[in-house]
Amino acid sequence: MAKSEEPANEAGAKKPIGELVEKTATEVRKQPVKSVVWAFFIGILLTIFPIGRVVSAAGGLMFALLRPALLLLGLVKLCEEIEERRK
């Protein structure tokens, strides 16, 4: 799809990512050794630090708390509706 055919909201959403990719590519071309070293250390960090487990735990916690939160919001709306009908 050509850029002129993209809707305005998609072009606006992709612009920061495109700029980040271009900026990163420019920096890698300027300093390839530094980029490789950074990539190596970030890879080591991601290997040592259990990112998958942290994300999984956060997602599990979010879904565990979602049901009570929705129940509470439903009760609040029900109370508001009952008060409105009493008036």
Q: How far, CA to CA in Å, does 59 sit from each of 19, 53, 54, 55?
A: 30, 10, 9, 6
Which pTM value belongs to this model?
Answer: 0.42
Encode pLDDT of 65-86 as tens digits. 999 999 999 999 999 999 999 9
d(CA 79, CA 5): 48
**Residues 29 and 60 placed together within one structural domain of the fold:** no
Same domain membership, residue 45 and residue 67: no
> CA-to-CA distance for 34 and 27, rounded, in angstroms?
9
59 and 36 inside one domain: no
Helix (H) or strand (E) holding 15: helix 8-30
Residues 39 and 59 in one domain: no
Interval 31-70: pLDDT, tens: 999 999 999 999 898 888 888 888 899 999 999 999 999 9
